[in-house]
Amino acid sequence: MILKDAVAIVTGSSSGIGAAIARTFAAQGCHVVINYSRNADGANAVARECEALGVRTLVQRADVADDADCRELVAATLETFGRVDILVNNAGTTKFCDHANLDGLDKQDFLDLYSVNTIGAYQMTRAAEKPMRDQGSAHVVNMASIAGLAGVGSSIAYAASKGALLTMTKSLARVLGPEIRVNAICPGFVQGEWLEKGLGKDTYDRLLAKTRAAAPLHETASPESVAQVVLGLIIGGDLTTGESLLIDGGAHLGPAPGRR
């Protein structure tokens, strides 16, 4: 797929990974829809950065847990640009809770995380299905996590919501072809505010150093490196659908035998 003059909706692009994806697409000449739920200032700042790269933007508030908001986001995109080529379901939320503390999560926590991380991606994909099919060649990328593969991460509820997103990626890939490819990205430790705020600075620094040291590539992901993988998946890999791609510098492999 060629991104020049394509149109991408990136949910949750007011900060972090979503913002980096929007900038990366814009650098390829792709017009971008910047979505936020609370951080309007961040979204507007990302839009200005994208426009400085020569593309058009639309900034739209939408809570992806709300189906009417999802439909409005797609409708506004069509009104502004007349097409949708790429949907990145990046919006995500969590509650940090030690996995051993089973009393730390209640039913509402699971429902809150599932509503955004899993149902949000479903609702956005459903809203964008028709215009994406009309393009003949379109792509959905779901931002999952190593948490969904390995049952790790900020809480059991978060890991479960991302595991469900991975399963949904396969189901959707099966029914949305041949016009739409659906793949998932699974970042490991991503440097930035999400983990720094959630873990606290000291734990964040300690875990960052430990993860880097353990990774064969001696590095963990950044929002920009995740965005590059999303780009690669879209512009290459025309026959890849229903897959998930792990980005963790190889940390999941563990040390080489004899180096434990």
Complex with ligand NAP: residue 38 or 238, whichever CB lies closer: 38
Complex with ligand NAP: residue 13 or 24, whichever CB lies closer: 13
Pairwise CA distance, residues 218 & 32, whole Å: 33
Rule CB under 6 A: is residue 26 a binding residue for ligand NAP? Answer: no
Pairwise CA distance, residues 54 & 112, whole Å: 37
Among 36, 114, 122, 158, the one annotated catalytic: 158
Pairwise CA distance, residues 189 & 75, whole Å: 35
Rule CB under 6 A: is residue 143 a binding residue for ligand NAP? Answer: yes
| Min dist. Cβ of residue 35 to ligand NAP (A) | 6
Rule CB under 6 A: is residue 15 a binding residue for ligand NAP? Answer: yes
User: Assign residue 184 a region: left if phi > 0, alpha if psi is -120 to 50, beta otherwise?
Assistant: beta
1-9, 16-24, 78-86, 232-240 -> range binding ligand NAP (CB under 6 A) = 16-24
Chain-centroid distance of CA 227 in Å reads: 9
First to last CA, the chain: 43
Rule CB under 6 A: is residue 156 a binding residue for ligand NAP? Answer: no
| Min dist. Cβ of residue 43 to ligand NAP (A) | 7
Rule CB under 6 A: is residue 121 a binding residue for ligand NAP? Answer: no
| Min dist. Cβ of residue 258 to ligand NAP (A) | 30
Complex with ligand NAP: residue 93 or 241, whichever CB lies closer: 93
Strand partners, 23: none
* Residues whose CB is less than 8 angstroms from the CB of residue 201 and which lie 6 or more positions away in sequence, other chains included: none
C-beta neighbour count of 260 within 10 angstroms: 6
Give the pairing type, strands 31-36 and 180-187.
Answer: unpaired
Instruction: Enumerate residues 213-242 that contact ligand NAP by CB under 6 A.
Output: none
* Residues whose CB is less than 8 angstroms from the CB of residue 216 and which lie 6 or more positions away in sequence, other chains included: 249, 250, 251, 253
Rule CB under 6 A: is residue 187 a binding residue for ligand NAP? Answer: yes
Residue 44's nearest CA partner among 32, 59, 54 is 59
Rule CB under 6 A: is residue 33 a binding residue for ligand NAP? Answer: no
Rule CB under 6 A: is residue 38 a binding residue for ligand NAP? Answer: yes
Is position 36 annotated as part of the catalytic site? no
Determine which residue in the list 63, 85, 129, 248 makes contact with ligand NAP, applying CB under 6 A. Answer: 63
DSSP state of 137: S
Rule CB under 6 A: is residue 131 a binding residue for ligand NAP? Answer: no
Complex with ligand NAP: residue 89 or 241, whichever CB lies closer: 89
Coil, strand or helix: which one is 7?
strand
Pairwise CA distance, residues 119 & 206, whole Å: 34
| Min dist. Cβ of residue 1 to ligand NAP (A) | 22
Q: Would you name the residues annotated as active-site residues?
A: 158
Query: In the complex, which residues of this chain contact ligand NAP (CB under 6 A)?
Result: 11-18, 35-39, 63-65, 90-93, 116, 143, 145, 187, 189-190, 192-195
